[in-house]
Structure 1
Amino acid sequence: MSLTCQQISSILNTAPGLAVLNATHLSNGVVVDLPGLVPSCMVNGLSSTTTTNDLCRIIVNVTTSASSTNRIEAWLPDNWNGRFLATGNGGIGGCIDYANLQHGAGLGFATFGTNGGHDGQTGFEFFLNRPEDINDFGYRAIHAEAEAGKYIIEQYYGRKADYNYYSGCSTGGRQGFEEAILYPDDFHGILMGSMGVDWLHIVASKGILARRMGWPDLSSPKYITAAQWSAIVKAQIDLLDPLDGVTDGIIDDPTSHTIDPSIFGCGNDVLNSSLCLTDVQVQTVREIYEPLTNSEGDVVYPSFDLGADTSVFSANTKTVDGTTVPELTYTVLQDYWRGAVYNSSTWTPHNFTIADMDFAVNLNPGGINIAGGLSHNVSAYHFQGGKLLAYHGRADQTVTSAVSSRAFHRTAETLDLSLEQMHDFYRLFYVPGMGHCAGGVGAWSIGQPNVNRPPGEQFNNTDNNILLALVDWVEEGNAPQALVGTKFKGDRLGEEVEAQRTHCVYPSVSRWDGVGDAKKAESWRCELA
């Protein structure tokens, strides 16, 4: 390397728009205190993280406008593998993704994280009267990270990275797709999990679904309690799970099934007498599982997935002085519409309507809905040889799983490409039984960053780690044909393996062979649906 960690500050501080806050060399396994971490960015209540390599930790502020800056953190391993890895955000951003920093640096990548232009995963104040911060979160933060990251790498290591990669999930998936549309030269490979494209409709859906069940009127005859919803979802899984031949608590593809909600009515013995639904509530369930439409009657967001946890709209109360009052636990809707859409500190989603959704989509604050809303035009990225690799859980409670296949097909239509041509640069893996980005009853671990410990060296290969599969595709031309997902005991990576399963390139699906042990990956094969 051309510079030591101690020398880098003076060099970087001479670059326009860069200000170094910290540069420290750390050994592998050191606990790093994060004294400025806001509570909503803490993981398990901790304001610290742990290094996963001998590395130089650099923190910089990057000026993005006359009134906005982004904080970017770099973990630069001593045993660098020659690659740059930028990472994204979740929710409404505001948190550097330390799990991704740990994951990337542990594999030898020069890994970067960004706060997306503000601090905090909850709140609206950081958007209120701050249009440039809205722009950072909407479209600019990852590009700023890419440009600063490449510069820092070249200064520190004395040469450019051989290849540039990006990894993000949820909002981070949106950010990755938006990069491919707006800044096609930033990355050779982009990894997009549970991609939150068409972001405004995703967030608005939580308010629309809550309103469909009569909320905030908790006494409405349409209203369905959280306990009832838990019973409804369990019944959906019990009914649909065995249809693939394996009873494992997983609905392989909820988009391929329908259930008449009248079976949940009282007298049908599906739900017990304390949880069964009235005729009015049956109609509520029917409405909940309908797609979202805008004020023109056009479908704008796919149906909520059968078998997915409904808490994003059904956990909608809190207790104040012993009284239950309405309030959505899913705070992104209120925070973003308050700060970025209506610029009002008092707005609430209690009377949320399609008009509120359409207003935000038409306003498109910070260009946030470019990715998968206004555009699927990744033609420039495709032309210069970039690779897009996506994954999505079939039990995703936050971004309904059909969003990813819809984005895939709309991209094909926009670029006028066949399935074979799409697979040359864009591949999607569905993971049955996985929730939002990670977790769930399925064999969900495919190399995603995790706040638990790394899974172990035996899983750091192209079959088990989707980031390394992307690297192999970009650098060696080996397009991923399948991935092996792992379910660890207690969802603790590196613990006993409870089950593994082969996951397939969409539109192929993973099917049990009917003979082998369903908990072994080799008993599952990829077939066209």
Structure 2
Amino acid sequence: MVSLTWSIAILAGVIVRLVRSSPETCVSVGTLSSIPNVTVVASEYLLSGSQIPLPGTVESCGGPDLKANITADICRLVLLVATTPSSEVQVEAWLPEPQSWNGRSIATGNGGIGGCIDYATMQNGAALGFASFGTNAGHNGSVGYEFFLNQPEVINDFGHRAIHIEADVSKVLVAQYYGKGASKKYYAGCSTGGRQGFQNAHLYPEDFDGMLLGSPGVDWLHIVASKGILARRIAIVKAQIEQLDALDGVADGIIDEPTQHRFDPTSLACGTGLLNSSLCLHPQQVESVRRAYEPIANTSGHIVYPPFELGSNTDVFSNNQANGTAALSYTILENFWRGAVYNDSSWTPEKFGERDMDFAVRVNPGQVNAAETDLTSFYRKGGKIISYHGRNDETVTSALSEHFFTGVQSALNINLEDIHDFYRLFFLPGMHHCSGGLGAWSIGNAQKYPYDQALLDPKHNALIALVEWVENGTAPDTLIGTKYENDLIGSTITAQRTYCPYPMFSNWDGVNDTSLAASWKCMPSRFDG
């Protein structure tokens, strides 16, 4: 097999002769199927407003009935790029007509254990004029262990390689289709997509100029392992909210800054009178609740994962059982440990513990934990990162983003002003994982389609804010989140709130309507003084 670099160079040479802005030349790219290492699966010219079927989609990615909304006149290409003799990455490109192209490109990541194209972000990107790209991260499907079993190179694609391949392919296709390279290259992803972004900034800092990273799953193995460990612990969320909600001055069902509070489960013990005899906690249950919101330590006793935030439902992935085991409904742990960590199809997670977690971290399949805090090269090249995280995230504790932010600052040995010059982190109270929740969570989130056309500005849309920062040097001092009726983006707005770059907090002014963004101000800390 020839090298990937060589095959992409050939791909470039052929596309420059074939692809121009017409339906015929877009479709004719299919002749590239004979090029070594690159197979063209589809090449078609599509009109804005149409909807296309995606019949080859596996069930865990939406199934064969899934359809994509075409949001611009585009040349759509689907390529398979062989990364080794035993692995390949699928890359999909939506290339707007040259007269509609905004001169930029945007690549997307994945969720969970990958395997699904992020069509939501691609649809938004094409609608805004970006040359938009997606990838399956080296395998098809977000559920299953079979694609990892005895497939170390497939694990490498998912672990660290796929986004870089996507970036390389996007550069070639953009340059050859438009006759010039993208003026700026962007990336957007949430959850695993956030991990992939930070990892890429560390390993391949030249790939992108700006990154929008939501609920980033950095330290991915500890995140996934935490579900198996927390499954043996009990969460009491409603009682926490009742005790702590109003301390921020607004009784809205949201604990604004959960890291600033402590919750004592003995207050719910039988005999205190706060709960009736059918709901109160017995001594063993009190201890289990306490442990549910404690950090996770490894077998050596060192803390390796911060606690979940108060108000986050840590038992959503399992059915807790009285004997200390749990039936996990969270399939990622079982699938990844079975296929990638232990390479054993008979392994089950019923007795999952710290030893299983520590073993996975030592093996680090596919370098999946390579999202390190040393972003020196990305910082020095002038790259920009906007990250956001819901304070009620039940999948990736938001405390992890705090730790990562301070870790980056420490690794670069820079002050707050300097880190804010390239990396800004926004916490959204009341938002769940990547989107949803009681809070005003819509900020132009990755993986959510469509954007609200009335709020396509740097104040309300984080991707637009990122472009403004990268290209005009205007950093986002605030972002305004929006809450829609029934969480239907673009419908009636029920509330808005101003969010601030960490470590500042969004504080209610104590006077005006809490549903208005202007009623929320940025303060160093609501608890100062």
* TM-score, reference length from structure 2: 0.92
Offset of 1:377 from its aligned partner? 1.1
Q: How far apart, in 2, do the equivalents of 1:26 and 1:311 lie?
A: 44
Q: Deviations over 1:97-135 (max 9, x none)?
A: 111111111111111110000011111000000000000
SS at match of 2:39: strand
Counterpart Cα distance in 2 of 1:493 and 1:382: 34
CA distance, structure 2, for counterparts of residue 182 and residue 147 of structure 1: 14
* Residue identity (%): 54
Kept in 2, the 8 Å contact 1:2–1:158? The answer is no
Alignment of 1:29-40 (within 5 A): 29-40=49-60
Letter in 2 for 1:7: T
Contact 2:292 2:314 in 1 (8 A): no
Pair 1:441-2:435 in alignment? no
1:335 Cα deviation after fit:
0.5
Q: Secondary structure at the match of 1:151?
A: helix
**Corresponding residue of 1:132:** 153
Look up the match of 1:65. Answer: 84
Query: Is the contact made by 1:233 and 1:307 (CA closer than 8 Å) also made in structure 2?
Result: yes
SS in 1 for 2:286: helix
CA contact (8 A) 1:316 1:329 kept: no
Structure 2 distance, partners of 1:445, 1:298, is 37
SS at match of 1:399: coil
- In structure 2, which of residues 165, 175, 180 is the aligned counterpart of residue 154 of structure 1? 175
Query: In structure 1, what is the Cα distance between the partners aligned to 2:485 and 2:270?
Result: 38
Separation of aligned partners in 1, 2:447 and 2:292: 32
User: Is the CA contact 1:13–1:19 (under 8 Å) kept in the aligned structure 2?
Assistant: yes
Taking the aligned partners of 1:3 and 1:54, their CA distance within structure 2 comes to 10
Partner residue of 2:192? 171
CA contact (8 A) 1:3 1:155 kept: no
The answer on whether the counterparts of 1:6 and 1:23 sit within 8 Å (CA) in structure 2 is: no
Q: Which moved more, 1:288-297 or 1:358-367?
A: 288-297
- Equivalent of residue 111 in structure 1, options 123, 128, 132: 132
Measure the CA separation in 1 of the matches of 2:417 and 2:266: 42
Q: CA deviation at 1:454?
A: 3.2
Query: Shift of residue 268 of structure 1?
Result: 2.8
What letter matches 2:78 in structure 1?
Answer: I
> How many residue pairs end up in the alignment?
500
Distance 2:116 2:223 in 1: 20
For residues 247-296 of structure 1, give each alpha carbon's deviation from its aligned partner in whole angstroms, at most 9, with x where no partner exists. Answer: 11111111111110011222334334322211110011111111011122
Q: Let me know the Cα RMSD of the aligned residues.
A: 1.7
Indicate how the Cα distance of structure 1 residues 448 and 36 shifts in structure 2: closer, same or farther if over 3 A, else same.
same
1:522 matched to which residue of 2? 518
Aligned-partner residue type, residue 436 of structure 2: G
Query: 2:397 aligned with 1:400, yes or no?
Result: yes
Q: Distance in 1 between matches of 2:153 and 2:199?
A: 18
**Aligned partners of 2:228 and 2:333 also within 8 Å:** yes
| 2:338 match | 338
Deviates more, 1:266-275 or 1:159-168: 266-275
d(CA) in 2 for partners of 1:479, 1:75: 29
- Structure 2 vs 1, CA of residues 454 and 489 (structure 1 numbering), >3 Å: closer, same or farther? same
Question: 1:41-52, aligned counterparts within 5 Å?
Answer: 41-42=61-62, 46-52=65-71
Q: How does 1:475-514 map to 2 (within 5 A)?
A: 475-514=471-510
Structure 1 window deviating more from structure 2 (361-370 vs 72-81): it is 72-81
Q: 2:37 maps to what in 1?
A: 17
2:304 is paired with a residue whose SS is strand
Which deviates further from its counterpart, 291-300 or 429-438? Answer: 291-300
Alpha-carbon distance between aligned partners in 1 of 2:474 and 2:34, rounded to the nearest angstrom: 41
Corresponding residue number in structure 2 for 1:219 = none
| 1:355 matched residue in structure 2 | 355
Specify the code of the residue in structure 2 equivalent to 1:332: I
The CA distance in 1 between the partners of 2:110 and 2:182, in whole Å, is 23
* Change in 2 beyond 3 A, CA 1:393/1:451: closer
Counterpart mapping for 1:74-473 below 5 A: 74-78=93-97, 79-211=100-232, 213=233, 224=234, 229=235, 232-315=236-319, 326-371=326-371, 375-449=372-446, 453-455=450-452, 457-473=453-469
Question: TM-score, normalised on structure 1?
Answer: 0.92
Distance 2:130 2:33 in 1: 23
Q: Is the 8 A contact 2:441 2:482 kept in 1?
A: yes
Shift in CA distance, 105/311, structure 1 to aligned 2, threshold 3 Å: farther
Aligned to 1:28: 48
- CA change 1:496–1:272 in 2 (3 A) is farther
2:125 counterpart letter in structure 1: G
Distance in structure 2 (CA, Å) of the matches to 1:316 and 1:69 = 39
Give 3-state SS (helix, strand or coil) of 1:498's partner: strand
CA distance in 1, matches of 2:370, 2:449: 34
Displacement, 1:316?
A: 5.4
CA contact (8 A) 2:497 2:518 kept: yes
1:2 aligns to what?
20
Residues 23/154 of structure 1: CA separation in 2 closer, same or farther (3 Å cut): same
Paired with 1:198 and 1:497, the residues of 2 have a C-alpha distance of 36
